[in-house]
Amino acid sequence: MSDWKAILSLIVLEIWFFFTLLGYYVAIVNPQNSESVLGGVWTYSILVVILCVKYFAFGRSDVSRKYVHEFEQWPKRKNRIGGIIVWASILMIAANLVFVIYLFYQT
């Protein structure tokens, strides 16, 4: 069950990142056609591709278990630094998403 939680977390972060990029595009480059961009077929196609890649890369194989085993072999200090980098990335993506939502409502 833990593998699925990790995969789901990666999918959620990638979708947030995708919507952040899409939001910047809508807010800065193309504010007149925001409804057509957000509801376009290519938007849903990219989301389906993200889901399929995650499923085939991690869900069906033991690749994620191999990565977990490799990371467990790291020294404690290196693991802590890696954890800080991961959490900083998560906070950056979440903050960017909030900022994009703010920009979206300003236009």
**Hey, where are the domains in the chain?**
2-106
CA distance 50 to 54: 6
**Distance (Å, rounded) from C-alpha 101 to C-alpha 107?**
10
14 membership: H or E segment, kind and range = helix 2-24
Put simply, whether the predicted model's pTM sits higher than 0.75 gets the answer no
Long-range contacts of 98-101 (CB under 8 A, 24+ apart): 100/19, 100/20, 100/23, 100/24, 100/27, 101/23
User: What percent of the chain shows pLDDT beyond 90?
Assistant: 7
What's the pLDDT at 1?
45
Residue 4 has pLDDT above 80, yes or no: no
